[in-house]
Amino acid sequence: MNFWREIYPSLRTFAVLVAILWLAGCDVERRKSDTELGLDPQQAAGRKLYDNYCDRCHEPYSSHGKKGPSLKGIFKHQYLSLSGLPANDERVTDIVKYGRAKMEGFNQVMTEQQVKDLLAYLHTL
């Protein structure tokens, strides 16, 4: 009885701490370096573009969706998961440049070379 009354506050603090750590840990996975991912210079340049322009809406390494569908393994299947368009350089380049229904296009923002670099990175996902 006395024992529990004394230990209860610390138990509660402990439980709250565990809950906070668990919630914080849920979505935070350590970010891998370009070298760890084995990226060549072009793919690494593409990754920077991805981080700037795509990451806020598309997950690269997890399959859950953000505002847009995950792009994990985008070129590993024959068709894109959401639109069912063929998963090839031509279609994906068009989507990046001109956008889709709920996605803006990036042809005003990225040069042809940057789009190529980005595609090189997407092929590593």
For tokens 């789009």, name the residue. 115
Out of 39, 45, 80, 125, which residue is the one contacting ligand HEC (CB under 6 A)?
80
**Contact residues for 9 (Cβ-Cβ < 8 A; gap 6+):** none
**Contact residues for 81 (Cβ-Cβ < 8 A; gap 6+):** 69, 70
Stretch that binds ligand HEC, among 8-16, 22-30, 32-40, 79-87 (CB under 6 A): 79-87
123 in contact with ligand HEC (CB under 6 A): no
Residues in 86-115 that interact with ligand HEC by CB under 6 A: 92, 95-96, 100-103, 106
Please give the C-alpha separations between residue 33 and each of 17, 41, 47, in angstroms, as whole numbers. Answer: 30, 13, 11
Residues in 10-69 that interact with ligand HEC by CB under 6 A: 53-54, 56-58, 67-69
Report which residue type is found at 46: G
Note the residues at the interface with ligand HEC (CB under 6 A): 53-54, 56-58, 67-69, 71, 80-83, 85, 92, 95-96, 100-103, 106
